[in-house]
Amino acid sequence: MAPAQTTATPLATRSLERPPKLKGGLPLIGHTMAFVKDTIGLLQKTYDECGRVGRFKLFGKDMILFTGPEAHEALFRQPDEVLSPNAAYKMMVPVFGEGVAYGAEPAKMAEQMHMLYPALRNNRMRTYTEIVARETQETIADWGDEGEIEAGEFFGMLTNYTSSSCLLGREFRNEMNEEFSKVYYDLERGIVAWGYIHPYLPIPAFRRRDRARARLGDMVAEIVEKRKRSGYHGEDFLQTLMDAEYSDGSKLSDHEISGMLVAAMFAGHHTSSVTTAWTLIELLQHPRFLGEVRNEIRARYADAEDYSFESLRDLEKTEGAVKEALRIHPPLFILLRAALEDCEILGYQVKKGDWVAVSPMVAHRDPDVFENPLEFDPDRYGPRREEDKRPFAYIAFGGGRHKCMGNAFAILQIKTIMAVLLNRYDFELAGDPVETDFQGLVLGPKPPIRIRYRRRGATDARLSA
């Protein structure tokens, strides 16, 4: 097979074919209502009907969906000047703030993203592992021998604690976390499908989003000022951004710091919360894999609960389960770019103004890439299979230059939580079959998800008593 095209080809002629078009749609608005009501269904239908490259219409614009490793690579390799993520994600500007991430010029955004690298080095990852383990242990300290949790609420709360500690520091976690949880919730719920159409519509979700973003900026400014006065130097993302400088020597403003922290929080908390829940749910639905993961964890920590960075890296079965939960339930189901000029991709004409996309949800269901793709099978990442190693096949964290830089942190955080929980407790699903909640842009399990827990060995202790 010829290598995928990796650079955009300017169109010298209009003779190229447009991508195959999805049937149906309404005059003027095309498939907009179907996109808002059932985005996943529309994306899957586009792939099923049109193949590797297909298009549909949203409010007068063509959306072109690329599916498959070669198609993903062809899209992800395009320069930002041709296919722009900034132009595609204008809906995130009110969340992160003007001048931050997608609200900044590409060169400035690149500088801002580069500023986060020191926070993701191995020495920091060791610190984060200790923080996540401690937060998890403290959160379950009053569980007792047995009880029940609502998984979405519990993991949302827990990863809020872990993320706020790692990103904003212990003082923020201790002093302001209750209000932060509410503010962050309003920000999350302000990301809805209508934002793709117009992110400033006068709807309640957007009004709450804007109030929350303003309050968060005030909260971060208070912490920054307190640190400056005290001279405290933290080992967290906040300190990294306080110390960072642009190439011209200027510092980030409080507005930019809070926006960057929100961007990092979205990347970390979103993924960790829903994926931790999905990992445990899938394991409870698949006893063989649950047994393998539980045995691996309990063997590793048989002598002491030393949840170190090095020990977590050894948990290959656990990591396979996390990666498989991400494959089947990718938190971000669509990744977008906006065409800033006419170009050719994979032999098709892409016009200026088109939106182009890949869908991890659709891509990960491709039987040509993943064996029995609808089955939960963590072994697919083990020796001799390694289905995730094919370039641009496994795209839970995106791909190319804009691949999520926090992917290693996210997986490590989830592995740490799973290690602490499964080392101490046994779990079982207590409610109805779990479905996916398709409201919002991050696909978590639909509540309520009731899970019973029992302390390891508690049943035997009661019987012997």
Write down the mean pLDDT value for the chain: 89
**pLDDT reported for residue 252:** 94
- 43 in a structural domain: no
**pLDDT reported for residue 463:** 40
**pLDDT reported for residue 4:** 45
In the sheet that holds 355-358, the strands lie side by side as 53-58, 61-66, 355-358, 335-339, 83-84
- Alpha-carbon distance of 326 to 322, in angstroms, equals 6
Looking at residue 105, its amino acid is E
Q: Tell me the pLDDT tens digit for each residue of 45-84.
A: 999 999 999 999 987 889 999 999 999 999 999 999 999 9
- 82 in a structural domain: no
- 185 in a structural domain: yes
Q: Does the pLDDT at position 158 exceed 70?
A: yes
The whole-number average pLDDT for the span 390-406 is 90
Assign 238 to helix, strand or coil.
helix
For residue 304, count other CB atoms closer than 10 A to its CB: 7
**pLDDT reported for residue 13:** 44
- 439 in a structural domain: yes
Token pair, residue 76, equals 């992800």
Q: Which residue has the higher pLDDT, 183 or 135?
A: 135
Domain range for 97: 90-327+394-464
The CATH code of the domain that includes 133 is: 1.10.630.10
Q: Does the pLDDT at position 230 exceed 70?
A: yes
- 450 in a structural domain: yes
Nearest of 71, 79, 78 to residue 55 by alpha carbon? 71
Compute CA distances 238 → 13, 96, 302, 449, whole Å.
50, 15, 36, 33
Asked, as a colleague might, if the bond just before 445 is cis with ω within 30 of 0, I would say no
Q: Does the pLDDT at position 429 exceed 60?
A: yes
- Alpha-carbon distance of 313 to 161, in angstroms, equals 22
Q: Return all residues near 436 (Cβ < 8 A) that are at least 6 apart.
A: 329, 443, 444, 445, 446
Using the structure block, give the residue that is written with the tokens 């509540």. 447
DSSP string, 85-147: HHHHTGGGHHHH-TTSGGGS-HHHHHHHHHTTGGGGSHHHHHHHHHHHHHHHHHHTTT--SEE
- 80 in a structural domain: no
Backbone angles phi, psi at 43, to 5 degrees: -65, -45
- Alpha-carbon distance of 32 to 15, in angstroms, equals 28
**pLDDT reported for residue 454:** 98
- The dihedral region occupied by 60, where left means phi > 0, alpha psi between -120 and 50, and beta the remainder, is left
Q: Does the pLDDT at position 193 exceed 70?
A: no
Confidence of residue 90 (pLDDT cuts 50, 70, 90): confident
Structural domains of the chain, count: 1
Q: Return all residues near 379 (Cβ < 8 A) that are at least 6 apart.
A: 320, 385
- 442 in a structural domain: yes
- 315 in a structural domain: yes
The whole-number average pLDDT for the span 378-406 is 91
**pLDDT reported for residue 465:** 45
Q: Which residue has the higher pLDDT, 329 or 175?
A: 329
For residue 293, what is the DSSP state?
H
Q: Does the pLDDT at position 324 exceed 90?
A: yes
- Give a three-class secondary structure readout of 148-200: EEEHHHHHHHHHHHHHHHHHHCHHHHHHHHHHHHHHHHHHHCCCCCHHHHCCC
What is the model's pTM?
A: 0.89
**pLDDT reported for residue 106:** 86
How many helices and strands (H and E) does the chain possess?
20, 12
